[in-house]
Structure 1
């Protein structure tokens, strides 16, 4: 087993008297895609927010490559290689698809526009932007504004921006939510491509069990903010307690 790229130790957050995530300890490894499942209100997105820094833990720690990052801001965590895509698309709506990607590439390189900087710097950024445009099959839409894209293509653009950040850890919160049957396979193929890079760690929150089956190397189940199960998909999905709490009669019927 590889050294963990990401570890949460007794990670906990309280909102008043409510414990939304309760002492969750997990280690995530490069080359592994972990799907986080659980019923509504189980704490899945809250756990994601604690890892990516949108929420600050009440107690416990988050570690990236052995370094504690629990108190770092979301932007600082992104700088350390944690990339996050949200349930709702987070784009520059009035810029074109290409401009969205180019700005992300430029930000990743730490470069603003400077008239004394050699033109070759910007040519390299443009080449990188074109690469991510092609990788996400968005080249035909390069000059359309993000706001005018169908929802499925907006989700593909968000994946392109995430890839352009070049993170070590990819976090997807219900990546196919609200997508048509035509667009969902495109986004899942992009995630498969990321998963194929064994240096990357992928975390996925998902409700759709067909997506879970198609992608998961490992499943963790949260219930009432606590870690209920953690293991290979077949083992977790066959567990009676998991079926009782999460999968229920719909999975049994399936």
Structure 2
């Protein structure tokens, strides 16, 4: 089936920073992601939506290197990174946040960010390095914590943070890595109503950085409507629609078959 192009996708100015070409993965006889080709530009936020089992997280895993593709390519700034491991893709400029937080639970908030900065500079993860010899790292870590409103909790262990603050810390780790592409997989999952706005504010802040690209897997359509410049829809691992949010959300085909919603103007 051909992809529904609903209005002009990716109208914002910017060069293509990330691209997948015929990206595919098979598990036995099941094709979980089926020849997905899509290009993402700097300065844009693309929401990836679809029903449960549509292949959204699997697509993310293929891009970030948690899974090896059966076929196809992933290109970052024109460079083919398809054969790189996840850690090498991270150093190349892919920053991935997961549905579940990926922190060092027995280290403090500040130590978590400091280690991310060390990793970015390829200094290794030696916790026993003398802090005073890396004053620039500490200063930068403090800046990142201030940006995510965690300065007051800098000396708390990550494991002791409330869930919402753990998600904020995970965003801080991504910011410390300073990737070209930010990838958020359901960033508000498991969060209370009061916690959600904090994460959304952080993503809004990242959107102001016009040299960055943001990919967002999210099932909350109010979040998608507010943040996305573009929506792509996956169904059974296949790219089914691609366009500006209003056009995609209003499409009867997308609403009925892929989002599980009633068409606009009809009762749910």
What TM-score results when the alignment is normalised by the length of structure 2?
0.90
1:238 to 1:72, Cα distance in 2 relative to 1, 3 A: same
In 2, Cα distance between equivalents of 1:155 and 1:33: 19
Contact 2:256 2:262 in 1 (8 A): no
Higher mean C-alpha displacement, 203-212 vs 107-116: 107-116
Match of 2:28 in 1: 16
User: Where do 1:77-92 residues align within 5 Å?
Assistant: 77-92=89-104
Match of 1:208 in 2: 220
How far the C-alpha of 1:116 sits from its partner, in A, is 10
Residues 44-70 of structure 1 show CA distances to partners (whole Å, capped at 9, x for unaligned) of 000000000000110010001111011
Answering whether residue 162 of structure 2 is matched by residue 156 of structure 1, we say no
Residue 46 (structure 2) aligned to one of 34, 41, 44: 34
Residue 111 (structure 2) aligned to one of 99, 103, 113: 99
1:160 to 1:58, Cα distance in 2 relative to 1, 3 A: same
SS at structure 2 position matched to 1:88: coil
User: Where do 1:109-124 residues align within 5 Å?
Assistant: 109-112=121-124, 122-124=134-136
Match of 1:60 in 2: 72
C-alpha RMSD of the superposition: 1.9
Residues 200-253 of structure 1 show CA distances to partners (whole Å, capped at 9, x for unaligned) of 000000000110011000000000000010000011011111011133346754
1:115 to 1:212, Cα distance in 2 relative to 1, 3 A: closer
Residues 80-132 of structure 1 show CA distances to partners (whole Å, capped at 9, x for unaligned) of 1000000000000011111111111122122246999995x501000000000
User: Where do 1:173-188 residues align within 5 Å?
Assistant: 173-188=185-200
1:182 to 1:115, Cα distance in 2 relative to 1, 3 A: closer
Runs of 4+ in 1 over 6 A off after TM superposition: 114-118
Residue 125 (structure 1) aligned to one of 137, 144, 150: 137
In 2, Cα distance between equivalents of 1:116 and 1:101: 15
1:115 to 1:104, Cα distance in 2 relative to 1, 3 A: closer
What TM-score results when the alignment is normalised by the length of structure 1?
0.95
Match of 2:206 in 1: 194
How many residue pairs are counted as aligned between the two chains?
A: 253
SS at structure 2 position matched to 1:130: helix
